[in-house]
Amino acid sequence: MSGPMVQRTEKIAYAVARDIVSEVVTGDLSTGTVLGSEPEMMEQHRVSRGSLRESLRILEVLGFIQMKPGPRGGPILIEPDSRQFSTIATLYYQRINATYRQLLETRLTLEPAAAAMAARRRTPEHAARLKTYVSRSRTVDLTDDRHFRTVGQDFHDLLVEMADNRIIELLAHSCYDVFAGRTTGFLYPIAERRAVQRIHEQIAQAVIDGNAATAHSLMYDHMENYVEHATKRFSGVMSEVVKWEVAVGEQPARPTNDAPDVVLAS
Protein backbone atom coordinates (compact mmCIF):
# COMPACT_ATOMS: atom_id res chain seq x y z
CA MET A 1 0.00 0.00 0.00
CA SER A 2 2.84 2.39 0.77
CA GLY A 3 4.24 2.28 -2.77
CA PRO A 4 1.15 3.58 -4.63
CA MET A 5 0.44 6.18 -1.95
CA VAL A 6 3.98 7.60 -2.18
CA GLN A 7 3.75 7.70 -5.96
CA ARG A 8 0.38 9.46 -5.84
CA THR A 9 1.64 11.99 -3.26
CA GLU A 10 4.64 12.79 -5.44
CA LYS A 11 2.46 13.29 -8.52
CA ILE A 12 0.12 15.61 -6.64
CA ALA A 13 3.05 17.52 -5.15
CA TYR A 14 4.59 18.21 -8.56
CA ALA A 15 1.23 19.16 -10.04
CA VAL A 16 0.62 21.66 -7.24
CA ALA A 17 4.15 23.02 -7.59
CA ARG A 18 3.51 23.62 -11.30
CA ASP A 19 0.22 25.34 -10.48
CA ILE A 20 1.94 27.63 -7.99
CA VAL A 21 4.58 28.60 -10.55
CA SER A 22 1.90 29.34 -13.16
CA GLU A 23 -0.07 31.47 -10.70
CA VAL A 24 3.04 33.47 -9.80
CA VAL A 25 3.85 34.16 -13.45
CA THR A 26 0.33 34.94 -14.65
CA GLY A 27 -0.33 37.06 -11.55
CA ASP A 28 2.98 38.89 -12.05
CA LEU A 29 3.67 38.58 -8.33
CA SER A 30 6.68 40.50 -7.07
CA THR A 31 9.69 39.27 -5.15
CA GLY A 32 8.98 39.08 -1.43
CA THR A 33 5.30 38.23 -1.85
CA VAL A 34 4.01 35.72 0.70
CA LEU A 35 2.00 33.17 -1.27
CA GLY A 36 -0.37 32.42 1.59
CA SER A 37 -0.77 30.52 4.83
CA GLU A 38 -0.74 26.76 4.88
CA PRO A 39 -4.52 26.45 5.48
CA GLU A 40 -5.24 28.96 2.70
CA MET A 41 -3.06 27.12 0.20
CA MET A 42 -4.45 23.73 1.19
CA GLU A 43 -7.96 25.01 0.51
CA GLN A 44 -6.97 26.80 -2.68
CA HIS A 45 -5.26 23.76 -4.20
CA ARG A 46 -7.53 21.20 -2.52
CA VAL A 47 -4.66 19.06 -1.26
CA SER A 48 -3.56 17.57 2.03
CA ARG A 49 -0.99 19.19 4.29
CA GLY A 50 1.57 16.53 3.33
CA SER A 51 1.15 17.14 -0.42
CA LEU A 52 1.32 20.91 -0.02
CA ARG A 53 4.45 20.74 2.10
CA GLU A 54 6.10 18.46 -0.44
CA SER A 55 5.19 20.92 -3.22
CA LEU A 56 6.71 23.80 -1.28
CA ARG A 57 9.80 21.76 -0.49
CA ILE A 58 10.31 21.13 -4.21
CA LEU A 59 10.04 24.84 -4.98
CA GLU A 60 12.32 25.77 -2.09
CA VAL A 61 15.03 23.33 -3.18
CA LEU A 62 14.84 24.78 -6.70
CA GLY A 63 15.29 28.31 -5.36
CA PHE A 64 11.81 29.53 -6.33
CA ILE A 65 10.63 30.30 -2.80
CA GLN A 66 11.98 30.65 0.70
CA MET A 67 10.04 29.52 3.76
CA LYS A 68 9.58 32.21 6.40
CA PRO A 69 8.82 30.89 9.89
CA GLY A 70 6.36 32.45 12.32
CA PRO A 71 2.64 33.24 12.45
CA ARG A 72 2.92 35.65 9.52
CA GLY A 73 5.34 33.49 7.64
CA GLY A 74 4.91 31.13 4.75
CA PRO A 75 6.40 30.65 1.28
CA ILE A 76 8.00 33.86 0.01
CA LEU A 77 8.97 34.49 -3.60
CA ILE A 78 12.70 34.83 -4.23
CA GLU A 79 14.19 37.07 -6.91
CA PRO A 80 15.07 34.99 -10.00
CA ASP A 81 18.83 34.78 -9.86
CA SER A 82 21.63 32.95 -11.65
CA ARG A 83 22.96 31.80 -8.28
CA GLN A 84 19.98 29.51 -7.68
CA PHE A 85 20.17 28.28 -11.25
CA SER A 86 23.91 27.65 -10.87
CA THR A 87 23.30 25.47 -7.83
CA ILE A 88 21.07 23.16 -9.86
CA ALA A 89 23.21 23.39 -13.00
CA THR A 90 26.43 22.32 -11.28
CA LEU A 91 24.75 19.08 -10.24
CA TYR A 92 24.12 18.25 -13.89
CA TYR A 93 27.50 19.57 -15.02
CA GLN A 94 29.19 17.15 -12.64
CA ARG A 95 26.89 14.32 -13.72
CA ILE A 96 27.94 14.71 -17.37
CA ASN A 97 31.63 15.31 -16.48
CA ALA A 98 31.61 18.88 -17.81
CA THR A 99 34.87 20.74 -17.16
CA TYR A 100 35.68 24.30 -16.22
CA ARG A 101 37.24 24.73 -19.67
CA GLN A 102 33.88 23.88 -21.20
CA LEU A 103 32.25 26.55 -19.04
CA LEU A 104 34.56 29.16 -20.54
CA GLU A 105 33.98 27.78 -24.03
CA THR A 106 30.27 28.27 -23.42
CA ARG A 107 30.90 31.94 -22.61
CA LEU A 108 32.99 32.14 -25.77
CA THR A 109 29.89 31.05 -27.70
CA LEU A 110 27.22 32.97 -25.80
CA GLU A 111 28.73 36.40 -25.31
CA PRO A 112 29.63 37.21 -28.93
CA ALA A 113 26.07 36.21 -29.84
CA ALA A 114 24.77 38.45 -27.05
CA ALA A 115 26.86 41.38 -28.29
CA ALA A 116 25.45 40.97 -31.80
CA MET A 117 21.90 40.78 -30.46
CA ALA A 118 22.50 43.87 -28.34
CA ALA A 119 23.61 45.74 -31.46
CA ARG A 120 20.53 44.66 -33.42
CA ARG A 121 18.16 45.46 -30.56
CA ARG A 122 19.79 48.63 -29.26
CA THR A 123 17.52 51.40 -28.04
CA PRO A 124 18.27 55.07 -27.30
CA GLU A 125 18.39 54.12 -23.62
CA HIS A 126 20.92 51.38 -24.32
CA ALA A 127 23.07 53.75 -26.35
CA ALA A 128 22.98 56.30 -23.54
CA ARG A 129 24.03 53.69 -20.97
CA LEU A 130 26.92 52.55 -23.14
CA LYS A 131 28.08 56.11 -23.72
CA THR A 132 28.03 56.64 -19.97
CA TYR A 133 30.07 53.47 -19.58
CA VAL A 134 32.65 54.63 -22.12
CA SER A 135 33.01 58.02 -20.46
CA ARG A 136 33.40 56.46 -17.04
CA SER A 137 35.86 53.80 -18.20
CA ARG A 138 38.19 56.50 -19.52
CA THR A 139 38.48 58.15 -16.11
CA VAL A 140 38.71 55.29 -13.62
CA ASP A 141 41.94 54.25 -11.96
CA LEU A 142 42.53 50.84 -13.51
CA THR A 143 45.14 49.98 -10.89
CA ASP A 144 42.39 50.03 -8.29
CA ASP A 145 40.69 46.64 -8.19
CA ARG A 146 37.25 48.04 -7.37
CA HIS A 147 37.44 50.64 -10.12
CA PHE A 148 38.61 48.10 -12.67
CA ARG A 149 35.42 46.18 -12.12
CA THR A 150 33.50 49.03 -13.74
CA VAL A 151 35.29 48.21 -17.00
CA GLY A 152 35.44 44.49 -16.31
CA GLN A 153 32.63 42.05 -15.60
CA ASP A 154 30.09 44.86 -15.25
CA PHE A 155 30.42 45.51 -18.97
CA HIS A 156 29.67 41.88 -19.82
CA ASP A 157 26.65 41.93 -17.54
CA LEU A 158 25.43 45.08 -19.26
CA LEU A 159 25.70 43.62 -22.77
CA VAL A 160 23.95 40.34 -22.00
CA GLU A 161 21.15 42.38 -20.43
CA MET A 162 20.90 44.51 -23.57
CA ALA A 163 20.66 41.37 -25.73
CA ASP A 164 17.12 41.11 -24.31
CA ASN A 165 17.21 37.32 -24.10
CA ARG A 166 16.65 36.15 -20.53
CA ILE A 167 17.91 32.63 -21.26
CA ILE A 168 21.24 33.85 -22.65
CA GLU A 169 21.53 36.26 -19.73
CA LEU A 170 20.87 33.50 -17.21
CA LEU A 171 23.30 31.06 -18.82
CA ALA A 172 26.08 33.64 -19.22
CA HIS A 173 25.76 34.73 -15.60
CA SER A 174 25.67 31.12 -14.47
CA CYS A 175 28.87 30.25 -16.35
CA TYR A 176 30.56 33.20 -14.67
CA ASP A 177 29.17 32.30 -11.23
CA VAL A 178 30.35 28.69 -11.36
CA PHE A 179 33.84 29.51 -12.67
CA ALA A 180 34.23 32.36 -10.19
CA GLY A 181 33.20 30.00 -7.42
CA ARG A 182 36.22 27.82 -8.23
CA THR A 183 38.78 30.58 -8.88
CA THR A 184 39.45 33.90 -7.18
CA GLY A 185 41.51 36.99 -7.96
CA PHE A 186 41.94 39.11 -11.04
CA LEU A 187 42.50 37.48 -14.36
CA TYR A 188 44.19 40.42 -16.03
CA PRO A 189 47.35 41.97 -14.52
CA ILE A 190 47.47 45.75 -14.16
CA ALA A 191 49.64 46.14 -17.26
CA GLU A 192 46.89 44.66 -19.46
CA ARG A 193 43.87 46.40 -18.02
CA ARG A 194 44.06 49.36 -20.37
CA ALA A 195 43.80 46.95 -23.30
CA VAL A 196 40.65 45.49 -21.73
CA GLN A 197 39.22 48.99 -21.38
CA ARG A 198 39.95 49.72 -25.06
CA ILE A 199 38.37 46.55 -26.43
CA HIS A 200 35.30 47.09 -24.28
CA GLU A 201 35.02 50.61 -25.64
CA GLN A 202 35.26 49.30 -29.21
CA ILE A 203 32.56 46.72 -28.58
CA ALA A 204 30.37 49.35 -26.95
CA GLN A 205 30.75 51.61 -29.97
CA ALA A 206 29.85 48.78 -32.36
CA VAL A 207 26.66 48.17 -30.36
CA ILE A 208 25.84 51.88 -30.31
CA ASP A 209 26.32 51.98 -34.11
CA GLY A 210 24.11 48.91 -34.54
CA ASN A 211 26.94 46.97 -36.19
CA ALA A 212 26.13 43.42 -35.13
CA ALA A 213 28.89 41.74 -37.17
CA THR A 214 31.60 43.95 -35.69
CA ALA A 215 30.23 43.57 -32.17
CA HIS A 216 30.24 39.79 -32.58
CA SER A 217 33.76 39.69 -34.01
CA LEU A 218 35.25 41.98 -31.37
CA MET A 219 33.59 40.15 -28.50
CA TYR A 220 34.70 36.79 -29.86
CA ASP A 221 38.31 37.96 -30.05
CA HIS A 222 38.05 39.40 -26.56
CA MET A 223 36.54 36.26 -25.05
CA GLU A 224 39.05 34.07 -26.88
CA ASN A 225 41.81 36.14 -25.28
CA TYR A 226 40.04 35.76 -21.94
CA VAL A 227 39.98 31.97 -22.28
CA GLU A 228 43.68 31.95 -23.19
CA HIS A 229 44.54 33.99 -20.09
CA ALA A 230 42.39 31.77 -17.89
CA THR A 231 44.04 28.64 -19.30
CA LYS A 232 47.49 29.98 -18.43
CA ARG A 233 46.59 31.26 -14.98
CA PHE A 234 44.38 28.35 -13.94
CA SER A 235 45.91 25.53 -15.97
CA GLY A 236 45.37 23.04 -13.17
CA VAL A 237 41.68 23.90 -12.93
CA MET A 238 40.61 23.85 -16.56
CA SER A 239 40.47 20.07 -16.94
CA GLU A 240 38.70 19.55 -13.60
CA VAL A 241 35.12 18.35 -13.65
CA VAL A 242 32.71 20.95 -12.30
CA LYS A 243 31.58 19.97 -8.81
CA TRP A 244 28.12 20.46 -7.40
CA GLU A 245 28.43 23.22 -4.81
CA VAL A 246 25.25 24.06 -2.90
CA ALA A 247 27.03 27.13 -1.49
CA VAL A 248 26.96 28.72 -4.96
CA GLY A 249 23.32 29.65 -4.35
CA GLU A 250 23.99 31.00 -0.87
CA GLN A 251 26.71 33.55 -1.56
CA PRO A 252 26.87 36.66 -3.76
CA ALA A 253 27.91 35.47 -7.21
CA ARG A 254 29.06 38.80 -8.57
CA PRO A 255 30.44 41.21 -5.97
CA THR A 256 29.20 44.78 -5.87
CA ASN A 257 31.32 47.69 -6.97
CA ASP A 258 32.06 48.45 -3.31
CA ALA A 259 33.48 45.01 -2.65
CA PRO A 260 37.24 44.96 -1.96
CA ASP A 261 37.81 41.79 -3.98
CA VAL A 262 36.76 41.28 -7.57
CA VAL A 263 36.52 37.87 -9.15
CA LEU A 264 37.79 37.27 -12.66
CA ALA A 265 37.14 40.64 -14.26
CA SER A 266 37.20 40.19 -18.01
SS3 75: strand
Distance CA 218, CA 115 (A): 9
pLDDT at 37 over 60: yes
CA proximity to 265, closest of 131, 109, 137, 89: 137
pLDDT tens for 252-261 read 445 443 333 3
pLDDT tens, position by position, 82-102: 788 888 899 999 999 999 999
pLDDT, tens digit, 9 for 90 and up, residues 142-164: 998 888 877 888 899 999 999 99
Pairing of the two strands 74-77 and 65-68? antiparallel
- Of 21-30, 53-62, 181-190, 191-200, which range is least confident? 181-190
Side-chain-facing half-sphere of 43: CA atoms under 13 Å? 5
At the topology level of CATH, where does 2-77 sit? Answer: Arc Repressor Mutant, subunit A (1.10.10)
Yes or no: domain 82-249 corresponds to CATH 1.10.1200.10: no
What letter represents residue 49's amino acid? R
Average pLDDT of the residues in 231-237:
91
pTM: 0.78
Q: What is the pLDDT of residue 265?
A: 53
Residues 6+ apart with CB under 8 A from 35: 20, 24, 29, 41, 65, 74, 75, 76, 77
Domain boundaries, the chain: 2-77, 82-249
Please compute the mean of the pLDDT values over residues 35-42 and round it to a whole number: 91
Cα distances (Å, whole numbers) of residue 257 to 103, 146, 170, 208, 265: 24, 6, 20, 24, 12
